[in-house]
Structure 1
């Protein structure tokens, strides 16, 4: 029974050492993760800025289309008046 207890103790100690080594290696790579996250955030901000610029241009174009359609309607009415 003592032999089994010793082997269990050795096995648990080995697993604990392995888990500790993995935890230490994971925390040392955090700087890399934070750099990657910062890069992705800046890239996301660039895409968002480009999208908003494109959306604003689209909205300006939509307003111009509405204004031009109104002008076309007015000119059609004037043309009909002159043809009478």
Structure 2
């Protein structure tokens, strides 16, 4: 799954540089990168144990900020609906 995330994010970045980035690629990359950030932050909190919530280690801040990827500026559910509509041809559900 990691190589899929990297490939998607890098190809979206390349399309952005070429001014050819489309909504489908951007939304897919954002969702996958947000999931990767959350998984990494959650693992860091678990690794630090009780100190994962201590402010002096900044792990709790990274965890809080990683959750923000799922709700702002657009929720993950809306992004997945958009991807389903554009990539899979499903009817619009929002």
TM-score normalised to the size of structure 2?
0.30
TM-score normalised to the size of structure 1?
0.34
